[in-house]
Every structure is written in structure tokens, then in C-alpha cells.
Amino acid sequence: MIRLAPIPAGLPATVPFVGPETLERQSGRPFAARLGANENGFGPSPRALAAMQAAAGEIWKYGDPTSHDLIQALATHHGVRPENIVVGEGIDGLLGLLVRLTVAPGDVVVTSDGAYPTFNFHVAGFGGSLDKVPYRNDAEDPQALLDRARQVGARLVYLANPDNPMGSWHQGTVIRAMLDDLPEGALLILDEAYAEFAPADAIPDIAADDPRVIRMRTFSKAYGMAGARVGYAIGHPDLIAAFDRVRNHFGVNRIGQAGALAALQDRDWLARTVAQVATARARIGAIAGDNGMTALPSATNFVAVDTGRDGAFARGLVDALAAQGVFIRMPGTAPLNRCIRISCAPDAELDSLAEALPRAIATVSRA
């Protein structure tokens, strides 16, 4: 008989996100518009593509287990020391390592009900106890997170700024003030996956050596390299060094390292992408308005659209759009689940959305 360790033996088999490829296999056809995974359809820098193509010829070599060149470049980019940075397999991989490093079975972790489910997946996988607070006004609630952390003696507090799935954000001063009110012994995980799209005043001024916080960044969103799986964390050197105790030292592949390094250096392409995303957000808002719905303010590369109805209606729209070849997602927790979430994309994909959405609404309204 197969014998699992006690913690995974007590967990359900689950995948935090059903991928669009799975849905395409089920339907037997590809999506015309891939607008559900918050990928960057505007693509990576041509310099990053060229670097990855050049690196492909040396794929027989392991990647540098220290990600030395990329870490040096990231340290210069952020004005910190290399000792403040660890590179990993996207933010998802780094979150799993951080939980493994800091959470013992039974330790309490505080997050928001409806926030990024992959983080919750890691906490459960290492035996932590999740404690959730509700969103407030479609945004994560820093004070509620702090209050709950103090009540339960939380080991970790998770906050995304800007937020997924709602696209909302807090001023950097609010995040900075959280640290001064953080319970002793707690660590704030600040997920900044969408930071490049955010207003400048949403990014807090926090010293890289501050032991109360670890900040997560990625090349998956603004840099358009989700498939490469490259992310990094900025934190106190002692915490960063601890990742070497548990990380997969060859986890970041050679091609991904080369692409991330080149992408980081192409600031013009990044600025171009940020502008394209802003234009796409405005168009999604217009499409929503044309169909009697409201786009919520967003500082990300997606838009949460308030359907004005309930979760069942929003789920119906997700399914009806999928039947027409348009892939979107929705928040999973009420009252957030009254919304649908639409990723920014090039015009051709948004054309498909604009054409399909009225038909989807009609289909769901008749049901």
C-alpha cells in the first residue's frame, strides 16, 4: 500500500487553478482569447527572447545554482545588496519555501478570505493553520489582518499590494505603517507581483534589511515571462540565506535566468508594456460599461468587473464565455465573486471579448 506522510495524507488532492490548457482539452478547441490567467499577452522583451534563444544551445548545462548574474543585476536595480535577494521558481515557488522555513505544524498564518489561493495551498501542505479576515471595500484590510494576527499569535501575515483578484491597492505609507503595528514574532509577506503596474506611491519605502518583512517580485507579469518561472524575494540577509537550507538549487533553469537578466535591462520595453496594459484596462472598462457592468479601479494587468449580480451569475458568465472561446476567471469568495476578472491583452483578444460578452450575458439571463 502507498503510505503518505501524515500531513499530506490528510489533505485533499487539489490544483489551486485549473489551467486553460485543461479547459481546452475538455472543449476540444483552443481559446480565441486567453484572458483568465493574468499573463502578459504583449509578450517579453525581444532582448529577453534573443537571450533565451542563445541560452537554448547550452541547455545541456545546469543553470547557475546561485543565479549570480541575475542577483547582482537585481541588487543594482533595487539599490540593495546581493545578500538581500534570493531567486526562485516564481513567487509560487518562493512562497512554498518560505512557509517550509517558517511554519511548523499548527502555527497560525493570517491572510484574507479570497486572496491568492496558492499561498493557502502551501500553508496547508506544511501543516499550518490558516486564519482569514474578510476584504473591506473590495480590498485587503491591513488593520483587520494586524488585529487578527495579534489575536492568534500569527507566524506569517500575507498581503498582496496590488491585490489579486480585485486589482485594488494601498498607499505605500499604509503598508509601511503595518510594520510598526506588526505583532512581535510575525513576518509580513508582501506580495508585489504587480508592482510595476502600480502608482509610484503604492510602493512602500522599506529598508531591505528590515527583518519584519519579505517582499516578493516576479518576471511573470510586467516582464511577460510567466512560462519561464522566475521570481525573487527581497529581505533581511539572515532570512534570505536560510532559503539555501531548503531550496531546489537547480530549480531556476538556465534559459529563464538568461531571459530574466535581459528583460531587466530592457527598461524601454517595460515602459511600453505598462502603457499597453493601461490602454487595455481602459478598453476593458469600456466593454464592461457597454454591457451594464462596472470595472473596478485596477493597478494590475487585469480588471475586476462588477457584474451587479451574484456569484452564480458571474460563474454563468465565465462558463458562457468559455463556450465561445473566451477564457476568463472570477474570485471564489463572496462578495468578491459577484465579479469576473479579465486580463489585459492585445486588441484582437479584447475584440473577441467585446463580441462574446453580450451573447454570454443573454445566455445567462435566460437560464
Closest CA to 314 of 302, 323, 305, 326: 305
Model pLDDT for residues 142-173, shown as the tens digit of each residue = 999 999 999 999 999 999 999 999 999 999 99
Give the residue-averaged pLDDT of 116-141: 97
Three-state SS for 340? strand
Alpha-carbon gap, residue 89 to 95, rounded angstroms: 10
Model pLDDT for residues 6-23, shown as the tens digit of each residue = 999 999 988 778 899 999
Alpha-carbon gap, residue 85 to 78, rounded angstroms: 10
- The pTM for the full model equals 0.96
Give the residue-averaged pLDDT of 269-274: 98
**CATH homologous superfamily, domain 18-43+268-366:** Aspartate Aminotransferase, domain 1 (3.90.1150.10)
Closest CA to 168 of 278, 282, 295: 295
Query: In terms of C-beta density within 10 A (0-12 exposed, 13-18 middle, 19 or more buried), how is residue 313 classed?
Result: middle
Grid coordinates of 10: 490528510
Alpha-carbon gap, residue 364 to 360, rounded angstroms: 6
The reported pLDDT for the residue numbered 73 is 98
Three-state SS for 36? coil
Give the residue-averaged pLDDT of 199-227: 98
Q: Which amino acid is at 173?
A: T
Q: Considering the domain 46-265 in this protein, what is its CATH number?
A: 3.40.640.10
Domains of the chain, by residue range, sit at: 18-43+268-366, 46-265
CA 98 and chain centroid, separation: 16
- SS3 annotation, 86-107: EEECHHHHHHHHHHHHHCCCCC
Tell me the average pLDDT of the chain.
97
The reported pLDDT for the residue numbered 1 is 81
Model pLDDT for residues 52-84, shown as the tens digit of each residue = 999 999 999 999 999 999 999 999 999 999 999
Closest CA to 129 of 148, 144, 110: 110
Strand bridging mode 156-160 / 213-218: unpaired
